[in-house]
């Protein structure tokens, strides 16, 4: 059973040697770059203890970083769920046999893929209130923007995954009397989700990072509270940015690890072989057949 990583295929012997050499070369280059950055920051006094001391106070974490992290995770989690639902619905819509469904679904997906996410959040927060004659919260604007943009990208990923499945599976399903909705729900979409899992995970990681764009509508997410507000009070923008970047790296790594676990779990289920009883070598009736001699 294959245990390959979701985002990386196992290389062959030559590729492993080449990757090892390149890893050493780039590793040395990375260490040299980090050392150069460290020395430049040191010359500018960015490693002084007074700039990092605020992060040792519980008040900084309870009033700035942790509340902002919670807002970021809530917005990202809500956007992920809605984006996946949006992507599946519009992917199926783009594959519909009915032109009156397929064409509007295609227009919606292509439009929201083309509009920059920052502009979309800005318009939802400042423009939509004129249309609905009511206010739109910063949380709603951020989640709506994340859903429309990332859901459109995921819709194309799901559509590509569905089209990559051999047509014989659909034909076999239709042959046994299944309707198109059943074929989509039971056969095509589950396989497409597994086939496009690397793309889906990558897009969800992008979604989590894109919550930082909520600063334009004063959404109290991690970048706004953990970097802008802290640096305004303590003048430690570099230190705050490094701490916030480390938090983003940790949570994106956890998301990737979750995707790897899901991939391994689905592979084990797919390749599980049911136990069968050993075949009985004795013919029916209990007669023993002797082998021919000589």
The pair of structure tokens assigned to 118 is: 């920052």
The answer to whether 285 and 107 have CB atoms below 8 angstroms apart is: no
- Residues 270 and 3 sit within 8 Å (Cβ to Cβ): no
Fold of 57-267: MetI-like fold (1.10.3720)
- What are the sequence ranges of the domains in the chain? 57-267
CA–CA dist 133, 128 (Å, integer): 8
Per-residue pLDDT of the chain (294 residues; tens, 9 = 90+): 444 455 556 777 888 888 889 999 999 999 999 999 999 988 888 888 888 988 989 989 998 899 999 999 999 999 999 999 999 899 888 988 888 989 999 999 999 999 999 999 999 999 999 988 889 999 999 999 999 999 999 999 888 888 888 878 888 888 888 887 788 878 887 887 777 787 888 888 899 999 999 988 989 999 888 888 888 888 888 899 999 999 999 998 888 888 778 777 766 665 454 454 444 544 545 444 444 554
Determine the Cα–Cα distance for residues 235 and 184; give it in Å rounded to an integer. Answer: 55
Q: Give the C-alpha separation, 150 to 135, whole Å.
A: 24
| Residues ≥6 apart with Cβ < 8 Å to 223 | 212, 215, 244
Tracing tokens 């003048």 back to the chain, one arrives at 235
CA distance 145 to 82: 11
State residue 289's pLDDT score: 47
Strand, coil or helix: 8: strand
Long-range contacts at 28-32 (CB < 8 A, ≥ 24 apart): none
Residue 76 structure tokens: 């990202």
Closest residue by Cα to residue 147 from 201, 87, 72, 68? 87
Q: Which two tokens stand for residue 225?
A: 């509270």
pLDDT of residue 2: 45
pLDDT of the residue at 273: 44
Beta bridge partners of 8: 5
Q: At what angle do helices 197-210 and 237-270 cross, to 10 degrees?
A: 160
């Amino acid at each position: 059973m294959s245990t390959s990583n979701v985002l990386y295929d196992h290389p062959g012997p030559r590729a492993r040697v080449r990757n090892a050499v390149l890893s050493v070369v780039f590793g040395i280059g990375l260490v040299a770059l980090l050392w150069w950055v460290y020395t430049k920051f040191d010359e500018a006094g960015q490693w002084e203890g007074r700039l990092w001391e605020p992060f040792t106070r519980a008040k900084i974490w309870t009033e700035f970083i942790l509340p902002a992290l919670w807002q970021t995770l809530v917005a990202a989690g809500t956007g992920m769920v809605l984006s996946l639902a949006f992507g599946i619905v519009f992917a199926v819509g783009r594959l519909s046999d009915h032109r009156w469904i397929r064409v509007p679904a295609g227009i919606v997906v292509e439009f929201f893929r083309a509009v920059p996410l920052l502009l979309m959040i800005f318009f939802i927060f400042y423009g939509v209130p004129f249309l609905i004659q009511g206010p739109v919260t910063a949380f709603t604007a951020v989640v709506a923007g994340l859903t429309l943009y990332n859901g459109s990208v995921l819709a194309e990923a799901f559509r590509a995954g569905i089209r990559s499945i051999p047509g014989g599976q659909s034909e076999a399903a239709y042959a046994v009397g299944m309707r198109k909705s059943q074929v989509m729900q039971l056969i095509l979409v589950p396989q497409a989700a597994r086939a496009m899992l690397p793309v889906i995970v990558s897009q969800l990681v992008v979604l989590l990072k894109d919550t930082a764009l909520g600063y334009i509508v004063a959404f109290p997410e991690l970048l706004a509270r953990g970097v802008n507000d802290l640096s305004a009070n303590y003048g430690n923008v570099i230190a705050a940015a490094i701490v916030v970047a480390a938090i983003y790296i940790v949570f994106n790594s956890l998301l990737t690890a979750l995707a790897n676990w899901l991939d391994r779990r689905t592979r084990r289920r797919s390749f599980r072989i049911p136990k069968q009883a050993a075949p009985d070598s004795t013919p029916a009736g209990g007669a023993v057949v002797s082998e021919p001699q000589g």
